[in-house]
Every structure is written in structure tokens, then in C-alpha cells.
Amino acid sequence: MKKAPETRGTGGEIHQTAGGKTARMTTQQGIPVSDDQNSLKQGARGPTLMEDFHFREKMFHFDHERIPERVVHARGYGAHGYFETYDPIPELTRADLFQRKGEKTEAFVRFSTVAGNKGSADLARDVRGFAVKLYTQEGNWDIVGNNIPVFFIQDAMKFPDLIHAAKQEPDRGFPQAQTAHDNFWDFISLMPESTHMVMWIMSDRAIPRSFRFMEGFGVHTFRMVNAEGKSTFVKFHWKPKQGLQSVTWPEALKINGADPDFHRRDLWDAIQMGDFPEWELGLQVFDDDFADQFEFDILDATKIIPEEQVPVQRVGRLVLDRMVDNFFAETEQVAFHTGNVVPGIDFTNDPLLQGRNFSYLDTQLKRLGSPNFTHLPVNAPRCPFHTLQQDGHMAMTNPKTRANYEPNSWGEDIGGPREDPEGGFRSHPEENAGPKTRDRSETFADHYSQARQFYISQTEVEQRHMADALVFELSKVETPAIRTRMMSHLVNVHDELASAVAEGLGMDLPDAAEPAMAVRTDLPESPALSILKNGPESFAGRKLGILISDGADASALKALIDAAKGAGAAPMVVGPRVGAVKLSDGTTTEADERIDGGPSVLFDATAILVSDEGAEMLAGMHAAKTWVSDAWAHGKYILCSPEAGPLLQAAGLPHDPGEGVARTGDTAPEEFLKQATALRVWNRAP
């Protein structure tokens, strides 16, 4: 077993050849590799150097592994919209879109999962991509982020290894869109820097209820630069205006079976109904003094800056109001790139960001087949653009000039575009010095303290879900040594968590892994890290499932539907058939879903409006009993008519259902929907 120092990243077991000798890692040219953990930098915290041929070859080969779908983030869904600036912030940045109040900038957003292929299900436990393309008047700016603000690794050198480990195992081709297998946890358990991210992906953040109800993050620390050249550090946040919400794991499993396109359908339905999703762009802004005093390194992508330390300043809103005209032409062919920034936005020396900036063009060339992918409408800037680049596969435009080179002495009309020293993009003149070395800064070495902070910031319910998720994932790991190794990291995070997971796995707690730095236990709770502490303020944007039968009270149904629409929610009627259901006043209504096609897991709250005969009939239907029992078991709020008793009894609900179950005669629809804003009655949820 060979292990590199903690501050340089960790290595795993060296591969053994059939003869028992250690195989020496080389490049594809046969050149021996001295360090496969860290890219070549100018100083431990300096920029990544282009001459790093090993990193270049490794990333180049990784980027060209798949065609035509994306290697990662293959399953995605996109929509058009706009970004509206609140107030100008010229003191922070010269970026054009932030100079005028009320400025509207066209936007395209693509949400995605990471590990699954294009045909995988939406509710996989996974990170969600949250990529925003802003078509500004000074070019395209891409904020290519996730719904989780940290990442697994600190150096882009390890990205191919991470994805290889997470994807289906190469000898058997499964599991698909799952991390509950040996390879993933083998890699993670050998990379202590991943521990913080493990806490996030084992939380309910990895199974969001909707794209509309999840946060987005730029992940890295960037720079904003104003017209005077003053630089300020910044982290980007997208805050959903309808609050945070996730599903439970049992629900995720059922939803994937009932509707594997659940997230896609939800976004489509919301926009088609005019319930346009909105997020606010928030900035965490801080200077060099804060960066020097902060407990961790701001260039470390496995760390956050708690919002309680640096509040999020909201500077505009993102609205999605139009679906694509063609999924392939737009959502599949859109090309995002962290290197697409506009004047006033700049990079830092975050080694993961530096590697991403280098990698994306290779990916796009392989996937889209031409350097002219920027000619595709979804990728083309909306502002005027002029280059001297020409020809190439599928060139749609070429320079209309005599000169295709620069400098040239031809006049303005035929000489082509000229550089703009004043208005053009200028990199912040950061000074860097240091020896060329494959190394990692000592300031990146604390792998457990923020993982612990994330855990203690969750509610008791969320902590229980994290422990359950770890038990489930690690129970699928067949190699005991991998489980033990992972448990040794959890001991460093929190005794309570480690003990709960060990009990669930039926194993003894191992000794704690040796930390490179002492674990800090003084970091305070951060309420911003909890989903349940940041839920919705109303039932707007949610879905109400209404189970009905023949003879259901027509006036009660109308009142409930009207109240739901008035609250900004989407009512959906579920019946024993999708054809006409006859109501108490002799009128009929069409059901939106049949019972077995519209299970209660698809809804945020439920109602049961049935007649005496209807309740008896539904009580004999397995799908109807499951509809009610799932709503109960998953902690959903339930409004039911007095006649529903036999169905509730057949579904196994207690005689006194208690909190969260109301009767139509006792609770007005508006009051029920107000109560349902809490979304769950957690003391009866699994």
C-alpha cells in the first residue's frame, strides 16, 4: 500500500501485474508518471501550467471517451428565459449586464444529472447540474455550476478517475446512475478530500423534488473586476424563490418507476401553465483580507464560505418562461464552458476551475464535431461578434473581409475587426511566484471540519436521512475493507453519524482515519445548509393530487380546485378511470390521471373526495389503497371527505389519523393548503 502525504492528495493501492510486480504508470507515450494526484502549478496555490503534458493527455483522452452524448451530465433538460438586474453594481464589476437597473438579459438554463446516461431516470441520487448561459451585450457568460456548492476533488487531475469510479463498472456495465457499488466507494474512501461532498450527496440535496425547488452554485471562487481594475472575490448562488424541497428515498424509488421523466415533466408543466420558475442571483463578495483570515482556503472547491460569515447579496432574478422548440437542436447541442466569461468577470487559481477551463473545448469538439459549434443558434452570442477565424467543418459564416489575418494594413471595411485595448477583456494582473511543482497547498489539507459542520447544521430528520442513505449505499458494497475504510472517515465527521451507520450495517466502528489536520469542532451550525429550514412560504408551485370517485361532492371538488389555483398550486384530479367521473350533482369531470398512473408520490399534498359507494369500491382496489397508504407513510398532508373512512381503514391508517389529516367539513380548503405549506408531517414519515 502506498499513500502520498495528505496535503498532496491521496493515492490508492498500486495495481499489481499478473506476476506480482507493480506496474509503473506511464503516459500513452510510455513516459513514467511521478505524480497522478496533482497538476503542475507555479507554486502550491499558483495557476496550472499549460506545459503539463500528463494532465493534458489524461484530460484529452477522458474528454473524447464518448460520442455523441456527454460523458457527464448526459441527461439534461433546458429552458429559455431572462435575467433581470436589480440595481447596478459598478463598484464590484464592469460587467455590462450589471450596469443598468431593470436590464433584461436573455438566458438559457440546462439542468442535469451527472452519472447517468441519457436514458436514465430523473430521481437518481446524484448531483444536479445547474448551467446558465447569459447572452449579454458583451458576449456570452456561462455560470456552469451544480445544485451543491462543493465538489469531490480539489484538483482537476482526478476528475477522470472520479467519473470512472462513479460510472458503471467496466467489466459488467452496471449499475447505471447509481453510486451504490464498490468502485465508487473504493475511490471515495481513498480520497479524504471527498468527505465533505459525501455529506451533501447523502443528504436530501441529491434527490430534489423539482429543478424549480433547488439551489444552484458556481462552486468555485471567481473574481469580479470593476472599471478601475479593482478585484473582489465572489461566489455565485442561485436562490429559488419558491423555497427548497426534496423527496424522500422511498418516494424517489417509486417516482422513478411511476414517471422516470418526473423532473422534466414538472418543468414543462410549470412553464406551460405560466407558473414560471424564478431564482435570485446571489453574490458572496469578499476581499483579500477576508481570504487571508478565513479558516479554509478560498481556492479549495471542497469548501464553502458559510452564509452567516459572508451574507449573500441578491443582485437580480432569473426567470424561465419558454421551453425549447426542439430538444436536440437546443438542449442537446448547447455548449457551456467555464471559460466563457465577460469583461468584469475573471478566474482565480482554483486548480479544479483551471482544469475545467482547459477541458471544455475538447469535450465540445468531440461531442459536436466541429470547432464551429458556436455557429449553432443556441450557442451563438446575441450581441454583434467579429473574428478572423474561418472555415472548418460545418462553417456557417466566414469573415467578409479581404484580410483573414492580424495585424494587417487594410482599411476598416476590408481589414476586419481590431482589438479594443480599453473595452476588451483584461485578466486581473495577479502576481504569482514559485517553483514548478506537482504539489498541493497545506491550506487544502482539512478534509473533515466542514463535513462535520454540514452534518450538525441539519435537522434531526435530515440527519436520519443521511445516515439511512449511507447505510443503503454501503450495504451494496461487497468488499468489507471498503466499508471499513469509509467508516473510518465518518468517525472523523461525527460520532452520532458513524454509530448510526455502523449499527445499520451491523459492523463495529473502526479507528478514525488519521487526519492531516486536527478536526475542528468549533465551527457553528449554518442554518442555510438545511433544506427543511429553508422551505417554501406558501403552497404556490406545488401539486395537489385529488382522488375522486363517482358521486363525489361536486361543490367540495370545485371549492378545492379553486382554492388550489388561487394559492398558485396545480390541482390534478385522479380517478378510477381517465374518462368521465360522475359527480354528486349529475355533472361529470374528466380525471387527469388514472389511480395506478397517478400515484400519490407525484404530489405534494393529497385530498380524497369520495362518496359512500365510491369509498367501498376503492377500498377493494390495490392501487387506491396504495395511493392512500403511501400518502400517509410519506408524511403528506391529507384532506378527506367524511365518506372516505372505509378507504382509509382499508389502507391501514389508524382510527385517529392525527396531525396532517383534515376533514372537508371541518377545514376550509384555503386553510388546508396553508397547513400543507409545511409539506410533511415528519413524525409519521419513514
Question: What is the Cα gyration radius of the chain?
Answer: 27
Q: What is the pLDDT of residue 34?
A: 85
- Which of 92-101, 199-208, 386-395 comes out lowest in average pLDDT? 386-395
**Domain ranges within the chain, ordered by starting residue:** 48-164+203-280+317-375, 389-427, 538-684
Non-local (6+) Cβ contacts of 372 within 8 A are 392, 393, 394, 395, 396
The predicted model gives 325-334 an average pLDDT of 94
Look at the domain 48-164+203-280+317-375 and name its fold: Catalase HpII,  Chain A, domain 1 (2.40.180)
Q: How confident is the model at residue 460 (pLDDT cuts 50, 70, 90)?
A: very high
Sign of CA dihedral 168, 169, 170, 173: negative
pLDDT band at 14 (very low <50, low <70, confident <90, very high): very low
Q: Please identify every residue annotated as catalytic.
A: 73, 146
The yes-or-no answer to whether 48-164+203-280+317-375 and 538-684 have a common fold is no
- pLDDT bin (cut points 50, 70, 90) of residue 31 is confident
| pLDDT interval class at 66 (50, 70, 90) | low
Task: Count Cβ atoms below 10 Å from residue 149 Cβ, excluding itself.
Answer: 25
Task: Please state which CATH number belongs to domain 538-684.
Answer: 3.40.50.880
| Contact predicate 275/257, CB 8 Å | no
pLDDT at 389: 84
Contacts 24+ apart (CB under 8 A), 417-421: 417/386, 417/387, 417/388
Q: What is the pLDDT of residues 551-563, one digit of tens each?
A: 999 999 999 999 9
Residue 586 zone, left/alpha/beta (φ > 0; ψ -120 to 50; rest): left
Instruction: Look up cell 471595411; give the residue.
Output: 413
Please state the pTM of the whole predicted model. 0.91
Q: What is the pLDDT of residue 67?
A: 56
Predicted confidence at residue 7, as pLDDT, reads 38
Sign of CA dihedral 144, 147, 150, 152: negative
Give the pLDDT score at 12.
Answer: 37
More confidently predicted of 53 and 132: 132
Instruction: Please state which of the ranges 41-55, 80-94, 102-116, 203-217 shows the lowest mean pLDDT.
Output: 41-55
The pLDDT assigned to 20 comes to: 59
